[in-house]
Amino acid sequence: MQEADLPAARRIFRLAFGTFVGHPDPENFNPDREYLFTRWRAQPENALVAEHQGAIAGSNFLARWGSFAFFGPLTVHPELWNRGVAQALLAPTLARMDAWGASDQALFTFAHSPKHIALYQKFGFWPGALTALMGAPSREHTPETVQFSSLAPQAQAEALAACRQLCDAVHAGLDVTGEIEAVSRQNLGETLLLWRDRGLEGFAVCHCGAGTEAGKDAVYIKFAAARPGPQATVALDRLLDGAHALAIRRQLPRVETGVSVARRKAYAQLLDRGFRTSMQGVAMHRPDRVAYNRPDAFVLDDLR
């Protein structure tokens, strides 16, 4: 994908999802949320397009989180549905993730769509647990987290190393520091860091407001993780407190995130804190295994 392709790709993204969900004006589906431009700016080499008769027909975006990789949104112009465009995009997508040596590969799709699930099964992906997209009204909290943007350059480098080590403790080789750097470079929001005597206990990568994945009314926790162990529940609570405080500070009325329901304890913790599900999807994995979707994994994400 070239930068000049982005407006057409974004139009197709909105048109495709808007048409699928029955939006009355598909081209204005989620106009305040940005998924494509920000991902292209973060990793332009990981954005693909398909062309038909010299025009953009669809696109796909890949994300590399160390040993874990996923793709999406994969979208095709509705006029070209059922004509093999998605499969044409998937072939180079999987080749690239295999070349990375990603031991676990995944995607998020519509749980109620046999067509989507059957497509991805052809390429070796298998559905796992539901993913709940959840939200709650923002509330006043006194945060114990530190903002990544407040740190000096050397301290930021040390924080990135600590986040990398924490991710590896959750799942061998997992590394989402690219998301932290993308948020920082593009001013998309903030990464919240929770420090304790023994080091970093958790972090949360947050998008804030319009022009990001959050939309105009929310702080969206794109990824959060608490260090495995007996204090993980407390750490996740403190990260959520920090996200609420960030939302209040930026005058945003909601905090949103996603979680696999296979992470039973984290999912229950969100429910206990008043988060409610607005939509459910399903994560599909290649090979067919859980990766970090374990009951004791205090991780928030949704792979959209």
Distance CA 267, CA 300 (A): 9
pLDDT of res. 119: 97
Read off the DSSP letter of residue 180: H
pLDDT tens-place string over residues 259-274: 999 999 999 999 999 9
Residue 131: per-residue pLDDT: 98
> Where does the pLDDT of residue 206 fall: very low under 50, low under 70, confident under 90, or very high at 90 and above?
very high
Q: What is the pLDDT of residue 173?
A: 98
pLDDT for res 282: 98
**What does the pLDDT read at residue 157?**
98
**Comma-separated ranges of CATH 3.40.630.30 domains in the chain:** 3-102, 135-280+291-300
**Which residue is associated with the tokens 């949360």?**
204
Q: What is the separation of C-alpha 210 from the centre of its chain, rounded to a whole number of angstroms?
A: 16
- Exposure on the CB side of residue 250, measured as CA atoms within 13 A: 26
Alpha-carbon dihedral 167, 171, 172, 178, rounded to 10 degrees = -40
The one-letter amino acid at 34 = E
pLDDT band at 234 (very low <50, low <70, confident <90, very high): very high
Q: Is 301 in contact with 266 (CB distance < 8 Å)?
A: no
The identity of residue 137, as a single letter, is P
Which of 54, 55, 57, 12 lies closest to 35 in space, CA to CA? 12
Q: How many angstroms from the chain centroid is the CA of residue 150? A: 24
Beta bridge partners of 279: 133
Looking at the predicted structure, is the pLDDT value of residue 7 above 90? yes
DSSP 145: -
In degrees, rounded to 5, the angle at the alpha carbon of residue 120 between the alpha carbons of residues 117 and 122 is 110
Alpha helix locations (H) across 22-152? 36-42, 85-100, 114-121
- Does residue 197 surpass a pLDDT of 90? no
The superfamily in CATH containing domain 3-102 is Gcn5-related N-acetyltransferase (GNAT) (3.40.630.30)
Residue 288 CB partners (closer than 8 Å, separation 6+) = 126, 128
pLDDT digits over 18-72, tens only? 999 999 999 999 999 999 999 999 999 999 999 999 999 999 999 999 999 999 9
Mean pLDDT of the chain: 97
pLDDT at 210: 97
Q: What pLDDT, on the 0 to 100 scale, is given for residue 198? A: 83
> Which DSSP letter does residue 78 get?
G
Q: Are 117 and 130 in contact (CB under 8 A)?
A: no
Percentage with pLDDT > 70 across the chain: 100
> In this structure, which amino acid lies at residue 196?
R
The C-alpha atoms of residue 182 and residue 37 are separated, in whole angstroms, by: 12
**Residue (of 70, 76, 8) closest to 43 by Cα position:** 70
Residue 229 has a pLDDT of: 96
CATH architecture, domain 135-280+291-300: 3-Layer(aba) Sandwich (3.40)
Could you count the other beta carbons within 10 Å of the beta carbon of residue 265?
14
